[in-house]
Amino acid sequence: QSFKLLGFLDVKRVPCARESVLYGSLGSFVVGLGYFLATSRVRRSCDFAVGGFISTTLGYWFYCRYNLAQQRIRQRMLKEGMRNRMLFEGSSLDPERKQTGSERSDS
């Protein structure tokens, strides 16, 4: 069963959503408790807790999505490299194939 946050964010299916919400709640607790221990102002510490939740959630969301995009780019490059290796293996275009003297003079 999926859990929808704010009615539209499906935490189970959206990459990085679950971790972002978990780190956001931890950040909210730490910031709110820290501010409360420093000032003993309850209402203001709740405001800081909400701000800590939003900033931690968004910060980790962008960090996680950036890493996910980099990983997908690396996977795409690796897949393309493997496909090119299968296509060119054994041919004259194979970069790993050692050229003989007669092939060098023809090129």
Q: What is the pLDDT of residue 107?
A: 52
Averaged pLDDT score across all residues of the chain: 84
Q: What is the pLDDT of residue 64?
A: 94
Give the position of tokens 């890493």.
67
**pLDDT at position 101 over 80:** no
The gap from C-alpha 77 to its chain's centroid, in whole angstroms, comes to 17
Which helix (H) or strand (E) element contains residue 97? Answer: none
- Retrieve residue 99's tokens: 């050229």
Domain boundaries, the chain: 15-85
Predicted confidence (pLDDT) per residue in 51-78, tens digit = 999 999 999 999 999 999 999 999 999 9
